[in-house]
Structure 1
Protein backbone atom coordinates (compact mmCIF):
# COMPACT_ATOMS: atom_id res chain seq x y z
CA UNK A 1 0.00 0.00 0.00
CA UNK A 2 2.79 2.41 0.91
CA UNK A 3 4.53 1.66 -2.40
CA UNK A 4 1.34 2.50 -4.31
CA UNK A 5 1.01 5.77 -2.40
CA UNK A 6 4.61 6.66 -3.23
CA UNK A 7 3.94 5.98 -6.92
CA UNK A 8 0.84 8.18 -6.77
CA UNK A 9 2.86 11.01 -5.22
CA UNK A 10 5.50 10.66 -7.94
CA UNK A 11 2.86 10.78 -10.66
CA UNK A 12 1.31 13.90 -9.09
CA UNK A 13 4.71 15.60 -8.99
CA UNK A 14 5.36 14.75 -12.65
CA UNK A 15 1.91 16.00 -13.69
CA UNK A 16 2.32 19.24 -11.76
CA UNK A 17 5.79 19.75 -13.23
CA UNK A 18 4.44 19.09 -16.72
CA UNK A 19 1.71 21.71 -16.31
CA UNK A 20 4.20 24.29 -15.05
CA UNK A 21 6.81 23.56 -17.73
CA UNK A 22 4.27 23.66 -20.54
CA UNK A 23 2.83 26.97 -19.36
CA UNK A 24 5.94 28.85 -18.24
CA UNK A 25 8.83 27.04 -19.90
CA UNK A 26 11.41 24.86 -18.16
CA UNK A 27 14.13 27.34 -17.26
CA UNK A 28 11.86 29.66 -15.27
CA UNK A 29 10.46 26.90 -13.03
CA UNK A 30 12.47 25.89 -9.97
CA UNK A 31 12.12 23.07 -7.47
CA UNK A 32 10.68 25.68 -5.07
CA UNK A 33 7.99 26.53 -7.62
CA UNK A 34 7.02 22.89 -8.01
CA UNK A 35 6.86 22.31 -4.25
CA UNK A 36 4.76 25.46 -3.74
CA UNK A 37 2.43 24.48 -6.58
CA UNK A 38 1.84 21.09 -4.94
CA UNK A 39 1.94 22.39 -1.38
CA UNK A 40 4.60 19.84 -0.46
CA UNK A 41 8.09 20.23 0.92
CA UNK A 42 11.21 20.17 -1.23
CA UNK A 43 12.26 17.20 0.87
CA UNK A 44 9.32 15.29 -0.62
CA UNK A 45 10.49 16.16 -4.13
CA UNK A 46 14.01 14.94 -3.41
CA UNK A 47 12.64 11.68 -2.04
CA UNK A 48 11.45 10.87 -5.55
CA UNK A 49 13.83 12.80 -7.82
CA UNK A 50 17.57 13.43 -7.66
CA UNK A 51 17.33 17.01 -8.93
CA UNK A 52 15.51 19.26 -11.37
CA UNK A 53 17.22 17.57 -14.34
CA UNK A 54 15.72 14.28 -13.18
CA UNK A 55 12.22 15.79 -12.98
CA UNK A 56 12.58 17.46 -16.38
CA UNK A 57 13.75 14.30 -18.17
CA UNK A 58 11.09 12.10 -16.55
CA UNK A 59 8.36 14.67 -17.23
CA UNK A 60 9.48 14.86 -20.85
CA UNK A 61 9.40 11.07 -21.15
CA UNK A 62 5.95 10.80 -19.57
CA UNK A 63 4.52 13.58 -21.77
CA UNK A 64 5.93 12.03 -24.94
CA UNK A 65 4.54 8.61 -24.04
CA UNK A 66 1.08 10.10 -23.46
CA UNK A 67 1.09 11.94 -26.79
CA UNK A 68 2.50 8.90 -28.63
CA UNK A 69 -0.29 6.70 -27.25
CA UNK A 70 -2.89 9.21 -28.44
CA UNK A 71 -1.37 9.18 -31.92
CA UNK A 72 -1.24 5.37 -31.98
CA UNK A 73 -4.92 5.26 -31.06
CA UNK A 74 -5.70 7.67 -33.90
CA UNK A 75 -3.69 5.55 -36.34
CA UNK A 76 -5.44 2.39 -35.20
CA UNK A 77 -8.93 3.83 -35.75
CA UNK A 78 -8.29 6.04 -38.81
CA UNK A 79 -10.30 5.24 -41.94
CA UNK A 80 -7.46 6.29 -44.22
CA UNK A 81 -4.28 8.40 -44.32
CA UNK A 82 -6.20 11.67 -44.66
CA UNK A 83 -8.47 10.84 -41.73
CA UNK A 84 -5.39 10.11 -39.63
CA UNK A 85 -3.73 13.40 -40.60
CA UNK A 86 -6.83 15.43 -39.89
CA UNK A 87 -7.27 13.95 -36.41
CA UNK A 88 -3.56 14.34 -35.65
CA UNK A 89 -3.87 18.03 -36.56
CA UNK A 90 -6.50 18.40 -33.83
CA UNK A 91 -4.13 16.81 -31.31
CA UNK A 92 -1.33 19.14 -32.39
CA UNK A 93 -3.57 22.16 -31.90
CA UNK A 94 -4.62 20.98 -28.43
CA UNK A 95 -1.02 20.20 -27.43
CA UNK A 96 0.30 23.61 -28.46
CA UNK A 97 -2.52 25.93 -27.38
CA UNK A 98 -1.12 26.38 -23.88
CA UNK A 99 2.52 25.48 -24.55
CA UNK A 100 5.24 28.02 -23.82
CA UNK A 101 7.25 28.73 -27.01
CA UNK A 102 10.54 28.53 -25.09
CA UNK A 103 9.96 24.89 -24.12
CA UNK A 104 12.14 23.17 -26.72
CA UNK A 105 14.81 25.87 -26.56
CA UNK A 106 15.05 25.41 -22.78
CA UNK A 107 15.43 21.65 -23.17
CA UNK A 108 18.06 21.98 -25.89
CA UNK A 109 20.16 24.53 -24.02
CA UNK A 110 19.80 23.55 -20.37
CA UNK A 111 18.59 19.94 -20.18
CA UNK A 112 20.55 17.64 -22.52
CA UNK A 113 19.06 14.43 -21.12
CA UNK A 114 15.50 15.58 -21.76
CA UNK A 115 16.51 16.99 -25.14
CA UNK A 116 17.90 13.57 -26.05
CA UNK A 117 14.54 12.01 -25.12
CA UNK A 118 12.75 14.45 -27.47
CA UNK A 119 15.22 13.90 -30.32
CA UNK A 120 14.88 10.14 -30.04
CA UNK A 121 11.09 10.46 -30.16
CA UNK A 122 11.21 12.83 -33.11
CA UNK A 123 13.76 10.89 -35.16
CA UNK A 124 12.24 7.48 -34.52
CA UNK A 125 8.55 7.52 -33.59
CA UNK A 126 7.48 10.65 -35.49
CA UNK A 127 9.68 9.86 -38.51
CA UNK A 128 8.37 6.29 -38.80
CA UNK A 129 4.78 7.50 -38.37
CA UNK A 130 5.14 10.13 -41.10
CA UNK A 131 6.78 7.70 -43.54
CA UNK A 132 4.10 5.07 -42.92
CA UNK A 133 1.31 7.61 -43.41
CA UNK A 134 2.91 8.92 -46.62
CA UNK A 135 3.24 5.44 -48.09
CA UNK A 136 -0.34 4.61 -47.14
CA UNK A 137 -1.63 7.86 -48.64
CA UNK A 138 0.19 7.23 -51.91
CA UNK A 139 -1.25 3.71 -52.13
CA UNK A 140 -4.75 5.09 -51.50
CA UNK A 141 -4.35 7.73 -54.20
CA UNK A 142 -4.68 10.54 -51.66
CA UNK A 143 -1.05 11.68 -51.90
CA UNK A 144 0.99 12.49 -54.97
CA UNK A 145 2.76 9.34 -56.26
CA UNK A 146 6.00 11.15 -57.11
CA UNK A 147 6.71 12.10 -53.49
CA UNK A 148 10.06 10.99 -52.06
CA UNK A 149 8.82 9.87 -48.65
CA UNK A 150 12.26 10.08 -47.00
CA UNK A 151 12.73 13.70 -48.04
CA UNK A 152 9.17 14.73 -47.20
CA UNK A 153 9.40 13.00 -43.81
CA UNK A 154 12.69 14.78 -42.99
CA UNK A 155 11.10 18.10 -43.95
CA UNK A 156 8.06 17.39 -41.77
CA UNK A 157 10.27 16.62 -38.76
CA UNK A 158 11.86 20.05 -38.99
CA UNK A 159 8.47 21.72 -39.44
CA UNK A 160 7.32 20.19 -36.14
CA UNK A 161 9.96 22.25 -34.31
CA UNK A 162 9.67 25.43 -36.37
CA UNK A 163 6.79 27.04 -34.37
CA UNK A 164 9.04 26.96 -31.27
CA UNK A 165 11.61 29.20 -32.99
CA UNK A 166 10.97 32.66 -31.53
CA UNK A 167 13.24 34.24 -34.14
CA UNK A 168 10.94 33.06 -36.92
CA UNK A 169 7.74 33.49 -34.90
CA UNK A 170 8.12 35.99 -32.02
CA UNK A 171 5.56 35.17 -29.29
CA UNK A 172 4.57 38.84 -29.16
CA UNK A 173 3.23 38.56 -32.72
CA UNK A 174 2.21 34.94 -33.18
CA UNK A 175 0.23 32.32 -31.28
CA UNK A 176 2.06 29.03 -31.50
CA UNK A 177 -1.06 26.90 -31.99
CA UNK A 178 -2.05 29.02 -34.99
CA UNK A 179 1.46 28.83 -36.42
CA UNK A 180 1.47 25.05 -35.99
CA UNK A 181 -1.88 24.70 -37.75
CA UNK A 182 -0.91 26.98 -40.64
CA UNK A 183 2.30 25.02 -41.18
CA UNK A 184 0.46 21.71 -40.93
CA UNK A 185 -2.22 22.83 -43.38
CA UNK A 186 0.44 24.04 -45.83
CA UNK A 187 2.24 20.70 -45.54
CA UNK A 188 -0.91 18.70 -46.25
CA UNK A 189 -1.83 20.76 -49.32
CA UNK A 190 1.69 20.16 -50.63
CA UNK A 191 1.38 16.37 -50.62
CA UNK A 192 -2.25 15.63 -51.56
CA UNK A 193 -3.76 14.77 -54.91
CA UNK A 194 -7.01 16.46 -55.94
CA UNK A 195 -8.85 13.44 -54.51
CA UNK A 196 -6.95 13.79 -51.25
CA UNK A 197 -7.50 17.55 -51.09
CA UNK A 198 -11.28 17.19 -51.39
CA UNK A 199 -11.33 14.54 -48.67
CA UNK A 200 -9.08 16.62 -46.40
CA UNK A 201 -11.34 19.67 -46.73
CA UNK A 202 -14.40 17.49 -46.10
CA UNK A 203 -12.90 16.08 -42.89
CA UNK A 204 -11.79 19.53 -41.72
CA UNK A 205 -15.28 20.93 -42.28
CA UNK A 206 -16.82 18.04 -40.32
CA UNK A 207 -14.41 18.42 -37.39
CA UNK A 208 -14.96 22.20 -37.31
CA UNK A 209 -18.64 21.59 -36.56
CA UNK A 210 -17.94 19.36 -33.57
Structure 2
Protein backbone atom coordinates (compact mmCIF):
# COMPACT_ATOMS: atom_id res chain seq x y z
CA UNK A 1 0.00 0.00 0.00
CA UNK A 2 2.84 2.37 0.87
CA UNK A 3 4.54 1.78 -2.48
CA UNK A 4 1.25 2.27 -4.33
CA UNK A 5 0.73 5.60 -2.58
CA UNK A 6 4.30 6.66 -3.27
CA UNK A 7 3.99 5.75 -6.95
CA UNK A 8 0.67 7.59 -7.24
CA UNK A 9 2.16 10.71 -5.68
CA UNK A 10 5.04 10.55 -8.16
CA UNK A 11 2.67 10.04 -11.10
CA UNK A 12 0.52 13.03 -10.21
CA UNK A 13 3.55 15.20 -9.39
CA UNK A 14 5.07 14.41 -12.79
CA UNK A 15 1.86 15.35 -14.57
CA UNK A 16 1.68 18.67 -12.72
CA UNK A 17 5.39 19.44 -13.18
CA UNK A 18 5.14 18.81 -16.92
CA UNK A 19 2.06 21.00 -17.16
CA UNK A 20 2.99 23.94 -14.95
CA UNK A 21 6.71 23.68 -14.22
CA UNK A 22 8.28 22.59 -10.94
CA UNK A 23 8.34 25.81 -8.92
CA UNK A 24 4.67 26.61 -9.56
CA UNK A 25 3.51 23.28 -8.13
CA UNK A 26 3.41 23.05 -4.33
CA UNK A 27 3.04 20.00 -2.11
CA UNK A 28 -0.42 21.36 -1.29
CA UNK A 29 -1.31 21.27 -5.00
CA UNK A 30 -0.24 17.63 -5.24
CA UNK A 31 -2.15 16.69 -2.10
CA UNK A 32 -5.26 18.46 -3.39
CA UNK A 33 -5.02 16.69 -6.75
CA UNK A 34 -4.80 13.32 -4.98
CA UNK A 35 -7.40 14.17 -2.31
CA UNK A 36 -4.95 13.24 0.44
CA UNK A 37 -3.28 15.18 3.23
CA UNK A 38 0.09 16.82 2.79
CA UNK A 39 1.26 14.72 5.74
CA UNK A 40 0.70 11.59 3.66
CA UNK A 41 3.05 12.93 0.99
CA UNK A 42 5.74 13.65 3.57
CA UNK A 43 5.50 10.03 4.75
CA UNK A 44 6.74 9.01 1.30
CA UNK A 45 9.03 11.94 0.44
CA UNK A 46 10.85 13.93 3.10
CA UNK A 47 10.56 17.19 1.10
CA UNK A 48 9.83 18.58 -2.33
CA UNK A 49 13.48 18.34 -3.38
CA UNK A 50 13.44 14.56 -2.88
CA UNK A 51 10.18 14.29 -4.81
CA UNK A 52 11.61 16.34 -7.68
CA UNK A 53 14.80 14.23 -7.71
CA UNK A 54 12.75 11.01 -7.83
CA UNK A 55 10.65 12.48 -10.64
CA UNK A 56 13.74 13.46 -12.64
CA UNK A 57 15.28 10.02 -12.11
CA UNK A 58 12.14 8.19 -13.23
CA UNK A 59 11.67 10.48 -16.23
CA UNK A 60 15.25 10.00 -17.40
CA UNK A 61 15.22 6.22 -16.87
CA UNK A 62 12.04 5.90 -18.90
CA UNK A 63 13.47 8.04 -21.69
CA UNK A 64 16.67 6.01 -21.70
CA UNK A 65 14.74 2.74 -22.13
CA UNK A 66 12.67 4.18 -24.98
CA UNK A 67 15.76 5.51 -26.78
CA UNK A 68 17.49 2.13 -26.45
CA UNK A 69 14.44 0.34 -27.82
CA UNK A 70 14.16 2.78 -30.74
CA UNK A 71 17.80 2.17 -31.70
CA UNK A 72 17.49 -1.60 -31.54
CA UNK A 73 14.65 -1.66 -34.09
CA UNK A 74 16.86 -0.57 -37.00
CA UNK A 75 18.66 -2.15 -39.95
CA UNK A 76 21.13 0.67 -40.57
CA UNK A 77 22.44 3.99 -39.23
CA UNK A 78 19.96 6.08 -41.23
CA UNK A 79 17.00 4.28 -39.67
CA UNK A 80 18.68 4.58 -36.28
CA UNK A 81 19.18 8.33 -36.70
CA UNK A 82 15.56 8.85 -37.79
CA UNK A 83 14.15 6.68 -34.99
CA UNK A 84 16.39 8.34 -32.42
CA UNK A 85 15.29 11.79 -33.51
CA UNK A 86 11.60 10.82 -33.44
CA UNK A 87 11.99 9.37 -29.95
CA UNK A 88 13.76 12.45 -28.58
CA UNK A 89 11.21 14.71 -30.27
CA UNK A 90 8.37 12.88 -28.50
CA UNK A 91 10.21 13.24 -25.20
CA UNK A 92 10.81 16.98 -25.47
CA UNK A 93 7.23 17.65 -26.62
CA UNK A 94 5.98 16.68 -23.16
CA UNK A 95 8.46 18.89 -21.30
CA UNK A 96 7.41 22.34 -20.14
CA UNK A 97 10.33 24.74 -20.84
CA UNK A 98 9.85 26.34 -17.43
CA UNK A 99 10.46 22.95 -15.85
CA UNK A 100 13.99 22.91 -17.27
CA UNK A 101 14.61 26.40 -15.91
CA UNK A 102 13.21 25.46 -12.50
CA UNK A 103 15.42 22.38 -12.19
CA UNK A 104 18.48 24.40 -13.12
CA UNK A 105 17.78 27.22 -10.67
CA UNK A 106 16.12 25.54 -7.70
CA UNK A 107 17.00 21.83 -7.75
CA UNK A 108 20.73 21.39 -8.52
CA UNK A 109 20.84 17.65 -7.76
CA UNK A 110 18.02 16.98 -10.19
CA UNK A 111 19.58 19.31 -12.75
CA UNK A 112 22.85 17.37 -12.48
CA UNK A 113 20.97 14.17 -13.39
CA UNK A 114 19.49 15.91 -16.42
CA UNK A 115 22.86 17.24 -17.57
CA UNK A 116 24.54 13.85 -17.16
CA UNK A 117 21.80 12.22 -19.24
CA UNK A 118 22.25 14.80 -21.96
CA UNK A 119 26.04 14.97 -22.06
CA UNK A 120 26.77 11.29 -21.47
CA UNK A 121 23.90 9.12 -22.69
CA UNK A 122 22.38 11.19 -25.52
CA UNK A 123 25.74 12.42 -26.77
CA UNK A 124 27.22 8.94 -26.42
CA UNK A 125 24.31 7.49 -28.38
CA UNK A 126 24.83 10.07 -31.12
CA UNK A 127 28.55 9.26 -31.31
CA UNK A 128 27.73 5.56 -31.70
CA UNK A 129 25.19 6.28 -34.45
CA UNK A 130 27.68 8.43 -36.35
CA UNK A 131 30.34 5.71 -36.06
CA UNK A 132 27.87 3.15 -37.40
CA UNK A 133 26.93 5.44 -40.28
CA UNK A 134 30.56 5.90 -41.28
CA UNK A 135 31.15 2.15 -41.21
CA UNK A 136 28.10 1.50 -43.38
CA UNK A 137 29.03 4.21 -45.87
CA UNK A 138 26.02 6.41 -45.14
CA UNK A 139 27.95 9.19 -43.36
CA UNK A 140 31.04 11.00 -44.61
CA UNK A 141 34.39 9.67 -43.38
CA UNK A 142 35.77 13.17 -42.77
CA UNK A 143 33.15 14.05 -40.12
CA UNK A 144 34.30 15.22 -36.71
CA UNK A 145 31.88 13.12 -34.66
CA UNK A 146 32.63 14.88 -31.37
CA UNK A 147 31.71 18.30 -32.77
CA UNK A 148 28.56 17.07 -34.49
CA UNK A 149 27.30 15.03 -31.52
CA UNK A 150 27.82 18.06 -29.28
CA UNK A 151 26.05 20.30 -31.79
CA UNK A 152 23.07 17.94 -31.98
CA UNK A 153 22.65 17.74 -28.22
CA UNK A 154 22.89 21.52 -27.79
CA UNK A 155 20.51 22.20 -30.69
CA UNK A 156 17.88 20.03 -28.99
CA UNK A 157 18.21 22.05 -25.80
CA UNK A 158 18.19 25.33 -27.73
CA UNK A 159 14.62 24.66 -28.89
CA UNK A 160 13.48 25.11 -25.27
CA UNK A 161 14.85 28.66 -25.16
CA UNK A 162 11.92 31.01 -25.60
CA UNK A 163 14.29 33.86 -26.43
CA UNK A 164 15.61 31.95 -29.45
CA UNK A 165 12.36 30.31 -30.58
CA UNK A 166 9.34 32.07 -28.96
CA UNK A 167 6.41 29.63 -28.81
CA UNK A 168 4.02 32.27 -30.15
CA UNK A 169 6.14 32.63 -33.31
CA UNK A 170 7.45 29.12 -33.95
CA UNK A 171 5.85 25.70 -34.08
CA UNK A 172 7.89 23.51 -31.71
CA UNK A 173 7.65 20.35 -33.86
CA UNK A 174 8.62 22.24 -37.01
CA UNK A 175 11.68 23.72 -35.27
CA UNK A 176 12.75 20.25 -34.13
CA UNK A 177 12.24 18.71 -37.58
CA UNK A 178 14.02 21.53 -39.42
CA UNK A 179 17.07 21.41 -37.17
CA UNK A 180 17.23 17.62 -37.38
CA UNK A 181 16.94 17.59 -41.18
CA UNK A 182 19.72 20.17 -41.46
CA UNK A 183 21.93 18.16 -39.09
CA UNK A 184 21.24 14.80 -40.78
CA UNK A 185 21.74 15.86 -44.39
CA UNK A 186 25.01 17.60 -43.55
CA UNK A 187 26.53 14.28 -42.46
CA UNK A 188 25.39 12.07 -45.33
CA UNK A 189 27.06 10.65 -48.39
CA UNK A 190 24.99 10.43 -51.58
CA UNK A 191 24.17 6.83 -50.63
CA UNK A 192 22.97 8.05 -47.23
CA UNK A 193 20.85 10.84 -48.71
CA UNK A 194 19.13 8.44 -51.09
CA UNK A 195 18.17 6.07 -48.26
CA UNK A 196 17.16 8.97 -46.02
CA UNK A 197 14.91 10.47 -48.72
CA UNK A 198 13.27 7.07 -49.32
CA UNK A 199 12.54 6.70 -45.61
CA UNK A 200 11.11 10.21 -45.35
CA UNK A 201 8.93 9.61 -48.45
CA UNK A 202 7.70 6.30 -47.02
CA UNK A 203 6.79 7.89 -43.67
CA UNK A 204 5.01 10.73 -45.48
CA UNK A 205 3.02 8.20 -47.54
CA UNK A 206 2.08 6.18 -44.44
CA UNK A 207 0.78 9.29 -42.65
CA UNK A 208 -1.59 10.20 -45.55
Structures share fold, TM-score greater than 0.5? yes
Q: Distance in 2 between matches of 1:154 and 1:131?
A: 9
Structure 1 residues not aligned, in runs of 5+ = none
Kept after mapping to 1: 8 A contact 2:70/2:87: no
Residue 61 (structure 1) shift = 0.8
Match for residue 198 of structure 1? 194
Runs of 4+ in 1 over 3 A off after TM superposition: none
Note the 1:32-51 alignment, pairs <5 A. 32-51=28-47
1:180 to 176, 180, 202: 176
Match for residue 144 of structure 1? 140
Q: Distance in 2 between matches of 1:182 and 1:16?
A: 33
Q: Distance in 1 between matches of 2:186 and 2:118?
A: 21
How many residue pairs match? The answer is 206
Q: Distance in 1 between matches of 2:173 and 2:20?
A: 16
Kept after mapping to 2: 8 A contact 1:101/1:176: no
State TM-score, norm by structure 1: 0.91
State TM-score, norm by structure 2: 0.92
Higher relative contact order (CA 8 A, sep 6+): 1
Residue 14 (structure 1) shift = 1.4
Q: Distance in 2 between matches of 1:131 and 1:180?
A: 19
Match for residue 164 of structure 2? 168
Structure 2 residues not aligned, in runs of 5+ = none
Match for residue 90 of structure 1? 86
Match for residue 13 of structure 1? 9
